[in-house]
């Protein structure tokens, strides 16, 4: 039997390079491998665990779908769907919540981070975030999950739930592993932390044109350009990571040597890097435009994906309900 893959991204707007390199590239690699059956969703139910605007949620779901298709997710090869349109996820999430303690959830670093960001919004749904995510993954019996390294604590919870439900109810869920890409941690343009949607000036968007990319790179903080030790954090480290991801290891090594000898001219580095990033994004942007111009086709892709996902989901949900003594 083919092995299953599931991944998802929250609907907070258009994707950035962190999402693309950490998640979407892995999604594409597994989609291209005939040994895997791939399920890729928009995690709109996870989106509403933090403050959001209901007026633009649907729009944002659409943005993620369009970015998925533009980046190369192929409805002929992958089931592309919207989490909330497969109500079985919520139900399985509830059943799973009976297996997890509140204390375990409260101690997760991802939970603590969100509490810090939104102290006024520490809801049950936020606490339950990893449980719903485990339901997303185990629903399709996925053994591989292409996500960035920040999601590892959530995968640990999914493994714990799989192991508990297997031993307590005699089921056979796989314990899912993360599928890592070389961009599993894309640093922020500010030089502090990871690239993210919520931090102003930290990211490059998949839809940014060359001028926007240049402008954003111009703001990355740098130093004098030379010294004995090549920086391992801050803006210079971010630039070198992006050079490695878009221009290759050799180029990064050249810059490292240059740093320790005659010095780096950051303006040249940034210009070259902007070109390299744009070269990768350009075909994605062109494809996006094509899909934007065919809204009915996109609607159909989503509807068919939702339907396929619902069928698969119902099988697992019935199995779990039976094992738990509900049916
Ligand atoms: P979200 O929307 O926060 O993040 C989407 C994906 O992008 C990756 N990512 C990054 N990777 C590398 N460097 C970065 N700077 C960076 N920023 C974001 C994240 O690791 C993630 O893969 N909980 C998930 C959504 C989800 C999900 C699931 C994922 C819900 N259910 C089931 C997999 C399976 C999330 O945080 O998405």
pLDDT digits (tens, 9 = 90+) for 231-254: 999 999 999 999 999 999 999 999
pLDDT tens digits, 266-297: 999 999 999 999 999 999 999 999 999 999 99
pLDDT, residue 300, reads: 98
Whole-number pLDDT of residue 200: 85
Grouping H, G, I as helix, E, B as strand and the rest as coil, residue 62 is helix
What are the strands, taking DSSP E only, across 221-289?
Answer: none
Mean pLDDT over residues 49-74, rounded?
98
Tokens coding 136: 């997303």
- Contact present, 252 and 276 (Cβ < 8 Å): no
Residues 33 and 36: their CA atoms lie apart, in Å, by 6
What contacts 124, CB < 8 A, 6 or more positions away? none
Give the count of beta carbons closer than 10 Å to the beta carbon of residue 237.
14
Q: Which CATH architecture has domain 3-185+294-323?
A: 3-Layer(aba) Sandwich (3.40)
Number of helices and strands in the chain (H, E): 15, 5
Residues touching ligand 1 (Cβ under 6 Å) are 6-10, 18-19, 21-23, 43, 46, 133, 136-137, 145, 147-148, 150-151, 154, 183-186, 194-196
DSSP states along 64-132: HHHHHHHHT--TTTEEEEEGGGSTHHHHHHHHHHTTS-HHHHHT-HHHHHHHHH-GGG--HHHHTHHHH
What pLDDT score does 1 carry?
58
Distance 14 CA to ligand 1 centre (A): 13
Whether 85 has a pLDDT exceeding 70, the answer reads yes
| pLDDT for the residue 198 | 87
What is the rounded CA–CA span in Å between residue 235 and residue 241?
Answer: 10
The phi, psi pair for 8, rounded to 5°, reads -155, 160
Mutate to test the pocket of ligand 1, among 49, 83, 86, 148 (most ligand atoms within 8 A of CB): 148
Residue nearest (by alpha carbon) to ligand 1 atom 33: 7
Q: What is the largest CA-CA distance in the chain?
A: 73
Mean pLDDT within 119-127: 96
Q: How far apart are CA 19 and CA 11, in angstroms?
A: 12
- What does the mean pLDDT of the chain come to? 97
pLDDT tens figures, 90-99: 999 999 999 9
Residue 83, CB-side half-sphere exposure with 13 Å CA sphere:
29
Residue nearest to atom 16 of ligand 1 (CA): 18
Separation between Cα atoms, residue 7 and residue 280, nearest integer Å:
22
**CB atoms near residue 113 (< 10 Å):** 11
Distance 20 CA to ligand 1 centre (A): 10
Nearest to 183 by CA among 41, 60, 63, 22: 22
CA angle 159, 163, 168 (to 5 degrees): 150
Question: What percent of the chain clears pLDDT 70, i.e. is strictly above it?
Answer: 100
Say whether pLDDT at 109 is over 80.
yes
Q: Which of 6, 11, 23 to mutate to test the pocket of ligand 1 (most atoms within 8 A of CB)?
A: 23
Q: Which residue spans of the chain are classified as CATH 3.40.50.620?
A: 3-185+294-323
Atom of ligand 1 nearest to the CA of 129: 23
> Could you tell me which of 78, 74, 151 has the C-alpha nearest to residue 312?
78
Top mutation candidate among 151, 181, 242 for ligand 1, by most atoms within 8 Å of CB: 151
- Report the pLDDT averaged over residues 21-38: 98
- Give the pTM: 0.97
Q: What pLDDT is recorded for position 2?
A: 72
- Whether 305 has a pLDDT exceeding 90, the answer reads yes
């Amino acid at each position: 039997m083919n092995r299953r893959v599931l991944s998802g991204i929250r609907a907070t707007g258009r994707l950035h390079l962190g999402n693309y390199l950490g998640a979407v590239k892995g999604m594409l690699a597994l989609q291209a491998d005939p040994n895997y059956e791939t399920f890729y969703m928009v995690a709109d139910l996870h989106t509403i665990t933090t403050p959001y605007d209901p007026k633009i949620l649907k729009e944002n779901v659409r943005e993620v779908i369009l970015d998925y298709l533009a980046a190369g997710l192929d409805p002929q090869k992958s089931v592309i769907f919207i989490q909330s349109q497969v109500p079985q996820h919520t139900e399985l999430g509830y059943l799973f919540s009976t297996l997890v303690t509140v204390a375990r959830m409260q101690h997760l670093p991802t939970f603590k981070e969100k509490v810090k960001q939104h102290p006024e919004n520490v809801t049950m749904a936020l606490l339950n975030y990893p449980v719903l995510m485990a339901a997303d993954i185990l629903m399709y019996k996925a053994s591989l999950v292409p996500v960035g390294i920040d999601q590892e604590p959530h995968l640990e919870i999914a493994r714990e739930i799989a192991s508990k439900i297997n031993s307590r109810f005699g089921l056979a869920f796989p314990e899912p592993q993360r599928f890592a890409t070389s961009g599993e941690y894309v640093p922020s343009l500010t030089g502090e932390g990871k690239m993210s949607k919520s931090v102003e000036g930290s990211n490059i968007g998949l839809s940014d044109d060359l001028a926007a990319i240049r402008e954003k790179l111009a703001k990355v903080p740098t130093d004098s350009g030379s010294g004995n030790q090549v920086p391992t954090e801050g803006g210079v480290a971010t630039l070198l990571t992006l050079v490695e991801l878009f221009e290759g290891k050799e180029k990064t090594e050249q810059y490292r040597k240059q740093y320790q000898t005659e010095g780096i001219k950051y303006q040249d580095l940034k210009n070259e890097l902007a070109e390299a990033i744009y070269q990768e994004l350009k075909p994605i942007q062109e494809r996006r435009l094509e899909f934007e111009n065919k809204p009915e086709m996109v609607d159909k892709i989503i509807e068919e994906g939702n339907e396929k996902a619902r069928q698969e989901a119902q099988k697992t949900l019935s199995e779990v309900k039976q094992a738990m003594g509900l049916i």
